[in-house]
Amino acid sequence: MVTQNKSTDLYSCDTEPVGRRQDARDRTERRIVELGRRQLADVGAAGLSLRAIARDLGLVSSAVYRYVASRDDLLTLLLVDAYTELAETVDRAAGDAGDHWRTQLRAMSRALRGWAVDHRAEWALLYGSPVPGYRAPRDRTVGPGTRVIGALLAAVSAGAATGEVTGGPPVDLSPTLTADLAALRTEFGVSVGDAALVKSLLLWAALIGAVNLEVFGHYGPDTFTGPAEVFDVQVELLLDMLAQN
């Protein structure tokens, strides 16, 4: 029994400092992401500077590289952080919207737009122009980056299961596209026909396009008094499209 107590005490003493060090590292990494997001808003993705982040952290320039290996690594952290935050916002909206596919998609679409309007710099990183010279690592970004489309497809699949989301008229698809759609069904674990899946892709493309038009100012500053209402009308048309034969 004495040996067991000594072992427990020794284990606690050994791991507690390690835990504190990890907590400190996590806090520093979180602060780096916060400062990176601030830079996105101030100077854009192309202007990200690890030297500036080190200065704001009160570290020498070389010290920040213990946490972030390069500007590209910082971009990846910012991408994953933004994708995750957006997905969590959309998921919460879906969870609060009830069980019907249409109310879920409506709530998710509004949440998508709301997050984009409130986080324009982060949205630009996700869905704006690619950063020259940067190639996002698939193993770190594909999972977070596909969560929103996965949630949308799950709601569409639920509508298809009740017969409310339809494929519409037959669509003539090439064998290559048919194979790609089959791979998408497998990847996202949804059960919808080819035509309904193509409609889902149209929904996704239209949502991203509608948000981009607003966030990047392509409507013009004086065109619409209430852009949120314009978006809501567009969403309703897209939902009708999903249910049309």
Q: What is the pLDDT of residues 75-92, one digit of tens each?
A: 999 999 999 999 999 999
Residue 1 has pLDDT above 60, yes or no: no
Residue 9 has pLDDT above 70, yes or no: no
Same domain flag for 44 and 165: no
Domain extent, residue 27, equals 18-69
Q: What is the pLDDT of residues 102-122, one digit of tens each?
A: 999 999 999 999 999 999 999
Same domain flag for 61 and 76: no
Same domain flag for 128 and 60: no
Same domain flag for 160 and 236: yes
51 domain residue, yes or no: yes
CATH of the domain at 55: 1.10.10
Between 225 and 25, the higher pLDDT residue: 225
Q: Last residue of a domain, which of 30, 52, 69?
A: 69
Task: Indicate the number of domains in the chain.
Answer: 2
Q: Last residue of a domain, which of 69, 97, 129?
A: 69
Same domain flag for 142 and 205: yes
Are 83 and 145 within 8 A, CB to CB? yes
10 domain residue, yes or no: no
| Per-position DSSP letters for the chain, written without gaps between them | -HHHHHHHHHHHHHHHHHHHHHHHHHHHHHHHHHHHHHHHHHH-GGG--HHHHHHHHT--HHHHTTT--SHHHHHHHHHHHHHHHHHHHHHHHHHHS-S-HHHHHHHHHHHHHHHHHH-HHHHHHHHSSPPTT----HHHHHHHHTHHHHHHHHHHHHHHHTT-S---S-----HHHHHHHHHHHHHHT----HHHHHHHHHHHHHHHHHHHHHHTTTT-TTS-S-HHHHHHHHHHHHHHHHH--
Residue 167 pLDDT: 82
Same domain flag for 54 and 84: no
Q: Which of 52-61, 140-149, 211-220, 228-237 has the lowest mean pLDDT?
A: 52-61
59 domain residue, yes or no: yes
Please give the mean pLDDT across all residues of the chain.
Answer: 90
Same domain flag for 207 and 168: yes
- Average pLDDT on 188-205 reads 95
Same domain flag for 126 and 235: yes
Same domain flag for 88 and 187: yes
CATH of the domain at 189: 1.10.357.10
